[in-house]
Structure 1
Amino acid sequence: MVCFVPREDGKLRYQSDFQMKIAGAESNCAIGLQKLGHSACWISRVGADEFGEFVKRSVRAEGVSISGVTEDGEHRTGVMFKQTLAGNETTVTYYREGSAASFLSPNDISDEQIKGAKILHLTGITPVLSDSCKKAVYRAIELAKGYHVPVSFDPNIRLKLWKGQDHTNLIRDLAGRADYLLMGREEAEYLYGTGESERLQAMLCRQGTVRYLAVKNGSQGAKVCSATELISIPPYPCHCIDPIGAGDAFNAGFLSGILEGKSLEECGMIGAVCGAMATQTRGDIEGYLSKEELARLLSGQKAAYR
């Protein structure tokens, strides 16, 4: 989507000066991975309009392949607005009903896109947008399983997009198909009735098929686990301005660790650092770290500015 971010805090009714940025959980994660030195391809649909061109140019400028993006001549690109009130969490207003992205379908998912991947990352946002989006997500998972490509999934629950419908069973089903399940503590409580890592570990890793589980808990840090490990990841210090996009940055960092053969604890630490740094800007991706910046932070070094 295109995202309009006011330059000042306050209710939208009083704003007249906005910055135009991009937003979207899957594209955020792709950009985060690309910045960390990995190649990424984003699959979606955008309108054949100026906003669609802006989205494509912005994603491509970050090095992410847009070969999987379809230009839709019949439907517009989705839009959202952010509202930031001092001392309160950022809120968003969506204008994406009938958008090009909501018409994503299985026909937009090709074998070539999936079989060459090392990880397929999906979120719970796309499948609730429309029936065709849901089918596209299941098609992508089907192909990934057929080509032995691990699946990463973030429930990314957005109740505003559920429009009064209950998609809990859908999200739980998709989560159960993931090799790497990356979710917030509140999402875990919503989906499974508990945010306790030990219970989630038993339920999803020992009794289920999830290989790695990360339970993100914002300023409280995170818990990461497998069937045999349960590790607490402390929060990384930061000055939070806007938390939106932090979860996607955590995902990118965590998955980059997996791609580099890091231990579960290292994956969690990388995710925590990436997530924390993402909160220090108003845009979703502007605070995302490069591979060099991450290495410097992990080693405790300070940048030389003069």
Structure 2
Amino acid sequence: MPRSFDLLVVGDANPDVIVGPLATPLAFDQRELLVDSGTMTLGGSAAIAACGAARLGLRVAFAGRVGNDDAGHYVRDRLAARGVDVDALRLDDCLPTPLTVCVTRGEDRAIVTAPGTLSAVSADDVPERLLTSARHVHAASFFLMPRLAAGLADLFRTARDAGASTSLDTNDDPSGRWDTGTLAAVLAHTDVLLPNAREACRLAGLPEGIGQPGLAARALARRVPLVAVKNGADGALCDDGTTVHTTTGIRVTPHDTVGAGDSFDAGFLAARLNDRSAEEALAVAAVCGALSTRHPGGTDAQPTWDEAQAHLAPLGADAS
């Protein structure tokens, strides 16, 4: 049956205010520090992934919630301008749009988020017509939206029953607890898990360190069919429980790394939805993540499909 969308993305969307790079420790006591640049751009893991996938040529819809305020209208307008269908992005009259401030320092960053509507996003914000008319459903920022997390297993089950595949990027857990009780039910209906190396280790209950991302991926691959782990400058790996693929990615001079992991997600999903193998998808994803760092924020430098393909040659991969 024809599908209205290639990809439905469920999760967080907000403005990002990005300042940096910071050359000294962040100071309080009303100290004012000067940095080289500052910008406001579209943020939120789910929103950045949705924009990246649309840039790669997928038909993308977004479901979630923002405030009925200037920031919320900014988010809707930016998503729509990048080709993402926002009919299911609700405007909340009671809660404000989330806001994130990223302070960059070298390749690292500190992230401060005022959650706003994130606490109210729930499974009820996701129309069933979208779940049953998309080829794939992706969710992000699992630990930021507890109400959505509680209903995500049912959403994924409905999508899979309708013939769609599913993926999850949990992102960080601000509480530091990494309670995987609710997550276990979601993973039972998840086809692809997309953590970074630190997240993979925390989700698998393993310490961080050299070689640990691979061990974490293998442990998580016992719970989901395919795990793709982003490992920063060390590239990425994917594991289906039997075979491991790795890529070193490509080298770029990053402006900042905000949203690079979300652009990786977009590349991986776009490649899989274009019938590429897991190995090819990993190469495409690594390229998309790297290229997204060339400009401030997560969306302005996201590549097209043709641009991503052009950068695969140095990797010795053929995903054309």
| TM-based fold match above 0.5 | yes
**What's the CA shift string for 1:117-153, capped at 9, x where partnerless?**
1111012x245433x2223423322321321311101
**What's the CA shift string for 1:177-225, capped at 9, x where partnerless?**
3101111121121121343525633x443x43x2221121110011112
> Residue 171 of structure 2 is aligned with which of 147, 153, 156?
156
The range that moved more, 227-236 or 36-45, is 227-236
How far residue 26 of structure 1 moved from its aligned partner, in angstroms, is 0.8
1:127, 1:133 within 8 Å by CA — same for their partners in 2?
A: no
How far residue 95 of structure 1 moved from its aligned partner, in angstroms, is 1.4
Q: Equivalent residue for 1:274?
A: 288
Q: Which has a greater percent of strand?
A: 2
Q: Residue 236 of structure 1: SS of its match in structure 2?
A: coil
Q: Which has a greater percent of helix?
A: 1
Q: Is 1:129 the equivalent of 2:145?
A: yes
Q: Equivalent residue for 2:179?
A: 167
Runs of 4+ in structure 1 over 6 Å off: none
Q: Residue 82 of structure 1: SS of its match in structure 2?
A: strand
How far residue 6 of structure 1 moved from its aligned partner, in angstroms, is 2.7
Q: Is 1:249 the equivalent of 2:266?
A: no
Q: Is 1:46 the equivalent of 2:66?
A: yes
Q: Which has the higher contact order (CA 8 A, sep 6+)?
A: 2
Query: Structure 2: which amino acid aligns with 1:272?
Result: A
Q: Residue 281 of structure 2: SS of its match in structure 1?
A: helix
1:105, 1:133 within 8 Å by CA — same for their partners in 2?
A: yes
Gaps of 5+ in 2: 1-13, 207-211, 315-320
Distance in 2 between residues matched to 1:193 and 1:184, nearest whole Å: 14
Distance in 2 between residues matched to 1:243 and 1:7, nearest whole Å: 12
Q: Could you tell me the TM-score, scaled by structure 1's length?
A: 0.86
Query: Structure 1: which amino acid aligns with 2:54?
Result: Q
The range that moved more, 281-290 or 189-198, is 189-198
Q: Equivalent residue for 2:96?
A: 76
Q: Equivalent residue for 1:303?
A: none
Distance in 1 between residues matched to 2:20 and 2:196, nearest whole Å: 28
Aligned length, in residue pairs: 289
Distance in 2 between residues matched to 1:154 and 1:6, nearest whole Å: 25
Q: Residue 231 of structure 1: SS of its match in structure 2?
A: strand
- Equivalent positions of 1:2-151 (< 5 A) are 2-6=15-19, 9=22, 11=26, 13-14=32-33, 18-85=38-105, 87=106, 89-96=108-115, 99-123=116-140, 125-130=141-146, 132-151=147-166
Identity of aligned residues (%): 24
Q: Residue 76 of structure 1: SS of its match in structure 2?
A: coil
**What's the CA shift string for 1:214-242, capped at 9, x where partnerless?**
12111001111224321111131111232
